Structure 1
């Protein structure tokens, strides 16, 4: 069983990094999304609120204002799941706050040999490997500092980022598949 960090310290990683915070998202859905009011609005085809003033969005603005980068690549099925369509719609708020969220079709990710792991990589020095159960419930995050694992995560980041598409371009590809 992995040793999880204390979740009360999770947010600290997003204020203490020096240059880059980068994430790979590989899951088809996240239980935390399905439980939220924003997801219910998405299912009702209502306009999603701009919640960039919440603490996460405010922190992204602060960190990117300091010249730091916050980035992620989301792996998306073809066709996208309902949860992935929600994340694609909700990404507008994160992008407006300064985070650069890109998307990569799952068949391309598989061809690149990208793993099924969700993780955050900070400054190419340490990572948080996120664990989920079979119902997409978040279980906890495992701190990874072993240099061999970090190099692997950096290679994954480089491959994913190189092939990922910005939200606007990806949206047009999603529309053409529907």
Structure 2
């Protein structure tokens, strides 16, 4: 693998059929999320009628990717009752769905017998993994790429099993 990691936009631009994302933390504290989370805590909610105000450029990138025929799926393994951060994510996920992402939620208690990787990841076209590393408090600790066949197999199997058990976003209800 090359020593420099391509940007997410470059990785997804190279996708031809699928990009899947598995999230397994109950809170994230990465730079681009902190401000949005704090605004949400203070009462901000996205207006479904005001698409221009939604999270850009992420949603534009997803919309363009889906328009090229790439299936983008995100699965979130969450503890219940959910954390405040997960309530925040859930409240804004309709924007991801509107952009073309398919999103599902799996209560952690239903994942006990699934062999899950130790880190969140993106799997591109079932062949390239971008591991997302986090600090203990949810800050970004970098990314790493892998095309190791055993790791790819683990990630694909884990995602497929989580996806099969998970609840589609439109049906997953939490106390807001």
Measured after TM superposition, the shift of residue 168 of structure 1 is 1.7
Q: Does 1:45 align with 2:47?
A: no
Q: Determine if contact 1:4/1:141 at 8 Å carries over to the other structure.
A: no
How has the CA–CA distance of structure 1 residues 79 and 115 changed in structure 2, closer, same or farther, with 3 Å as cutoff? farther
Unaligned runs of 5+ in 2: none
Q: Does 1:79 align with 2:81?
A: yes
Moved over 6 A (4+): none
Alignment correspondent of 1:16: 14
How has the CA–CA distance of structure 1 residues 102 and 5 changed in structure 2, closer, same or farther, with 3 Å as cutoff? farther
Alignment correspondent of 1:56: 58
Unaligned runs of 5+ in 1: none
The alignment's TM-score, normalised by the length of structure 1, stands at 0.86
Q: Determine if contact 1:24/1:73 at 8 Å carries over to the other structure.
A: yes
Q: Secondary structure at the match of 1:86?
A: helix
Aligned partner (choices 152, 161, 164) of residue 162 of structure 1: 164
Measured after TM superposition, the shift of residue 102 of structure 1 is 0.9
Q: Which has the higher helix share?
A: 1
Q: Does 1:35 align with 2:34?
A: yes
How has the CA–CA distance of structure 1 residues 67 and 52 changed in structure 2, closer, same or farther, with 3 Å as cutoff? farther
Higher deviation after alignment, 115-124 or 156-165: 115-124
Measured after TM superposition, the shift of residue 44 of structure 1 is 2.1
How has the CA–CA distance of structure 1 residues 113 and 53 changed in structure 2, closer, same or farther, with 3 Å as cutoff? closer
Name the count of aligned residue pairs: 170
Q: Determine if contact 1:52/1:97 at 8 Å carries over to the other structure.
A: no
Q: Determine if contact 2:16/2:125 at 8 Å carries over to the other structure.
A: yes
Q: Does 1:127 align with 2:129?
A: yes
Alignment correspondent of 1:110: 112
